[in-house]
Amino acid sequence: MKEYYDAIIVGTGAAGLYCALNLPERKKVLMITKKEADQSDSFLAQGGICMLRGEEDYEDYFEDTMRAGHYENDKRAVDLMIRSSNTIIRDLLNRGVTFARNEEGELEFTREGAHSKPRILFYEDITGKQITQTLLDRARERDNIEICEYMTMVDLIAEDNVCQGVIVMDEKDQVYPVYAPYVVWACGGLGGLYHNSTNFPHITGDALGIALKHGIAVEHLDYIQIHPTTLYSKKPGRRFLISESVRGEGALLYDKNGQRFTEELQPRDLLSQAIYKQMEKDGTDFVWEDMRPLGEKTIMEHFPNIYERCLEEGFDPRKEPIPVVPAQHYFMGGIQVDLGSRTSMKGLYACGETSCNGVHGKNRLASNSLLESMVFARRTADDIIFGTRPDHARIQTPDMKQYENREEILSGYHHMVRNEIKKMGVRI
């Protein structure tokens, strides 16, 4: 790791990797991540990635996204995402990403909750891993992209509301200032602050705390999505998600008596509310999801990863329902950005789950996250390439002594984030 780069990207998920790959090879790019490069939530995405299926699908896709977001979405951002989808998919295919195809070799689509029709591309039930691992492979092939694992961002270097770089700490608690005219936050959500979450535990909203410290604009910190169906377990740690696609393909939800109690393809927030209500009524810690209507062929070919995880918990989804419970899943709020992914601090960008560009409104539509991440990651790269370079003040060397205690620094950021969210009446 050097001291100066053309751009620093915090995070190695889909957004960060796609931003790096869309920057010219003449630019020296540093990517840092708190753990290993493949331990981002993008790798965990199961269901798929949305794609506009012709002009006749535009109004329906737009309405589905707006309805799921309770019409609090930014219409311009939604339009930009939908209109960009085909270009993004073509580029992913060109980079080596694989999606399911039918017998004629054409791309195959599935449907998920709150979608009016099938428009979701997928690869088995590990679409996020297929996309993000491919992008990671392409990034590792580029000489201009340096990826540093086990490197934690503990602060920004900023002067007069102009970002000049980041303060990073390695696993031995050594602290380094790293400078660049452009910094991109693509470091995920805040699931690690929750007891029950589908996120990796180290994804803890650090950028939000740093933003609050520096007075960078944030937005809708109370917009936290609960996924209605995660595999119930008494084991500690991350909750395993039972994809929206399972219900999209026909799985049913039962109460403790084996009776359906709600419409399975509602938006996530409404379905989660229905499940919580039924659990309270039944006095149970979960409800049952029945995958048997899908048939064994679909379960084994489309959802092999889910099948294996269910077996590990002692359930065979081919023969019996599985226990599911809602858990924290996605963060629709975040660092406030415009359509170019610019934050309120010059030279600082945010994309992916870290950011709030208004696409998702109050509740994200299933499988819009991977698409949104990459659309606005490319907007970030475009603005770095073609936008106006910020006027940098004289670089000040920060006092490194203030960053000696990692746990104290990070817990301070987490405390700030929790307090802001609690002020809005949300439990965390």
Question: Domain holding 303: CATH number?
Answer: 3.90.700.10
Contact assessment for residue 261 and residue 278, using Cβ atoms and an 8 Å cutoff: yes
pLDDT in tens, 279-297: 999 999 999 999 999 999 9
Structural domain for 241, as ranges: 225-328
Q: What is the pLDDT of residue 411?
A: 96
pLDDT of residue 234: 86
Claim to verify: residue 206 and residue 277 sit in the same structural domain: no
Q: Are residues 75 and 212 in the same domain?
A: yes
Q: Quick one: how far is CA 261 from the chain centroid?
A: 30
Two structure tokens written together for 287:
């409800």
Of 265, 299, 328, the one marking the end of a domain is 328
Claim to verify: residue 230 and residue 219 sit in the same structural domain: no
Is 428 a member of any domain? Answer: no
CA-based angle 210:423:196, to the nearest 5? Answer: 75
- Are 367 and 416 part of one and the same domain? yes
What domain count does the chain have?
2
The conformation of residue 351, written as its DSSP 8-state character, comes to -
Q: Is the pLDDT of residue 100 over 90?
A: yes
Q: At which of 328, 360, 386 does a domain end?
A: 328
Average model confidence (pLDDT) for the chain? 95
Residues 113/23, Cβ–Cβ less than 8 Å: no
Q: Are residues 103 and 200 in the same domain?
A: yes
Is residue 52 scored above 70 in pLDDT?
yes
- Beta-sheet pairing, 348-350 with 183-185: parallel
- Are residues 314 and 351 both part of a single domain? no
- Predicted confidence at residue 392, as pLDDT, reads 67
Phi, psi of 42 (to 5 degrees): -60, -35
Q: Please state, for a pLDDT cut of 90, what percent of the chain lies above it.
A: 90
> pLDDT band for position 235 (50/70/90)?
confident
| 267 and 114 Cβ atoms separated by less than 8 Å | yes
In a domain, 1, yes or no: no
Q: pLDDT tier at 397 (50, 70, 90 boundaries)?
A: confident
Neighbours of 38 (CB within 10 A): 15
Average pLDDT over residues 253-262: 98
Looking at the domain assignment, is residue 2 inside a domain?
A: no
User: Is 95 a residue of the active site?
Assistant: no
Q: Say how far apart CA 113 and CA 92 lie, in whole Å.
A: 24
In a domain, 236, yes or no: yes
Tell whether 342 and 209 lie within a shared domain.
yes
- The Cα–Cα gap between 190 and 188 comes to 7
Contact 230, 76 (CB under 8 A): no
pLDDT band at 277 (very low <50, low <70, confident <90, very high): very high
> Worst-scoring range by mean pLDDT, 220-229, 318-327, 394-403?
394-403
Residues 41 and 150 in one domain: yes
pLDDT band at 394 (very low <50, low <70, confident <90, very high): low
Task: State which H helix or E strand residue 349 sits in.
Answer: strand 348-350
Asked whether the beta carbons of 125 and 304 are under 8 A apart, the reply is yes
Strands (E), 182-271: 183-185, 218-219, 224-231, 252-254
| 283 and 295, same domain (yes or no) | yes
Does 277 share its domain with 294? yes
The answer to whether residue 63 is domain-embedded is yes
The active-site residue, picked from 111, 268, 309, 378, is 268
- Listed residues 274, 301, 328: the one ending a domain: 328
Q: Are residues 119 and 209 in the same domain?
A: yes
76 and 201 fall within a common domain: yes
Q: How many whole angstroms separate alpha carbon 92 and alpha carbon 175?
A: 36
